[in-house]
Amino acid sequence: MATLIVAGVSSQIVLAGIGLAQIIREFHKDFENEMEALISSQDYVQRMVQSKDTAEVNDAVRKWLQDADELIKEKTRLEMEVQTKKRFFQRLYYSVRKLISRLKMISKLKALNTKVKSMPLFIPIRPIQVMKSFPVGNFEYFQSTTEAKDKLMEALRDDTCHIIGLYGLRGSGKTALVKAVFGEEANYSEMFDLIVFATVSKNPNIGRIQAEVADCLGLKLKENSDVGRSRRILSRFCSHKRVLVIFDDVRAKLDLGDIGIPYKGDHKELKVLFTTPDQQVCTSMDCDKEVALHPLSEVDSWKLLKKHAGMDEENNESSSSLLNVAREVAIECKGLPGKIKDVGSSLKGKPIEEWEASLDTLRHSTASHQYT
C-alpha cells in the first residue's frame, strides 16, 4: 500500500516537473521571439536614422534605441554567464538566475516592440524663411547698380557658373544690392529652391558662419568640432537641388569645404555668390564669374544726395551757394551710396557753414575707405 502511495506521489511530481519544464520552454521561446523582433527593429531603425540628418530624428527614437541596446546587451551578458560555467550546480544556478532576469525583462521587451510599431521616427524640418527678412522697398537702382544686377542675374542663370564674386569698394552697396535682388521673389523663385545667407567679415569664425548657415537650413548643430558640423551641413545641402549660398563681406579666401559647402562638381545645382571689397579675393576663390559694382556717377551721386538732404533744386528752396557746396560734397563722397546717404541725412536742413565744414573734412580724410 505504502509503495503504491509513494509511486503515485512520485508520478505526480514527475508530471508537475514536466509541466513546469514545458512552461519554462514556452517562456524562453516567447522571450527569444520577442528579442529577435527587437533586434530586427533596432537594425531597421538604426539604418533609417543613419540615412537621415540627425536633426530630424525624434528624441523618442534615440531613447528607444538606447533602451533596446541595453536589453540586448543584458541578454548577451546573461548567456555568457551560463556558458562560462563548467560545473553542473554552477550552470544550474546561473540558468535559474537567467530565467529570473528574463522574467523581469519580458514586459519591457514587449513594450519596446509595441512602441516601435507606432513611434514616428522623424520630426519635420522647420520651414526655411531666410528670404523673408530681406528688405526690398528702400533700395534705389542707378546705372551702376542696374548694370551689376543684370550681370549677376546672367551669371546665376548660367549653368557653367558655380562661384560668383561681386566686388566693389566698401560702401558701394554690394550687400544692399544682393538683398534687393533676392528680396524680389520673381528674381529667385524660378532659379532656386533654397537660398542661404551668412555674413563673413574680417577674421571669419568658421563656427559662427556654420551656425548662420545651419539656421537657414533648419539644422540644429550639436557637434563640438568644425569638421563634425561641416559634415552635417554638407549632408543637408546634398538633400536639396537648386541652392544659392550667399556669403557677405568676404575679405580673404574662404575655404567652402571647411563650412560644409559642396564644391562645384560635387553639387552641380548649387551656386555660391559672395560679396567682397577686394577683387583679388575673387581670384583666390576661383570664381567662374566676377561682377564689378562701380561707384555711382556724379549725376547719380548728386540725385541721391539731394534726396537724403531734402534739397529741392527746381523750386529754388536752397541758395545757389549752398547747392554748389552740396555738389562738391556729393563728388567727395566718391560715388559710395552708403556714405552719400549718411552725409546727406546728417546735413539735412543745416546752414551752409556746416556743409562747408563737412566738405573740408571729406577732402582731408580717408573716411571713404572705412565704410562697409
- Asked whether the beta carbons of 349 and 342 are under 8 A apart, the reply is no
Structure-block grid coordinates of residue 33: 521571439
Q: What is the CATH number of the domain that holds 321?
A: 1.10.8
- The count of domains in the chain is 3
How far is 86 from 116, CA to CA, in rounded Å? 39
Same-domain check for residues 186 and 62: no
How far is 229 from 226, CA to CA, in rounded Å? 5
CA angle at residue 217 from 214 to 221, to 5 degrees? 35
How far is 211 from 219, CA to CA, in rounded Å? 9
Structure-block grid coordinates of residue 267: 553639387
Same-domain check for residues 43 and 77: yes
Same-domain check for residues 164 and 193: yes
How far is 298 from 336, CA to CA, in rounded Å? 10
Query: Considering the domain boundaries, does residue 125 fall inside one?
Result: no
What single DSSP character describes residue 160? T
Running along the chain, 372 residues long, what does each successive block of 10 average in pLDDT?
46 50 73 80 75 62 81 77 55 60 75 74 50 60 95 92 95 91 68 87 91 86 86 79 90 92 76 96 95 97 94 71 94 95 94 95 68 44
Where are the strands (E) in 102-253, listed by range?
163-167, 194-199, 243-248
Going by C-alpha positions, the residue among 228, 280, 285, 282 that lies closest to residue 256 is 285
pLDDT of residue 4: 45
Q: Whole-model pTM?
A: 0.65
Domain end position, chosen among 231, 261, 292: 292
In which element (H, E) is residue 276 found? Answer: strand 270-276
List the domain range (segments joined by +) for residue 99.
2-118
pLDDT of residue 93: 53
Same-domain check for residues 310 and 192: no
Cα–Cα distance list, 49 to 54, 226, 260, 261 (Å):
7, 22, 20, 22
Same-domain check for residues 36 and 184: no
Query: Considering the domain boundaries, does residue 124 fall inside one?
Result: no
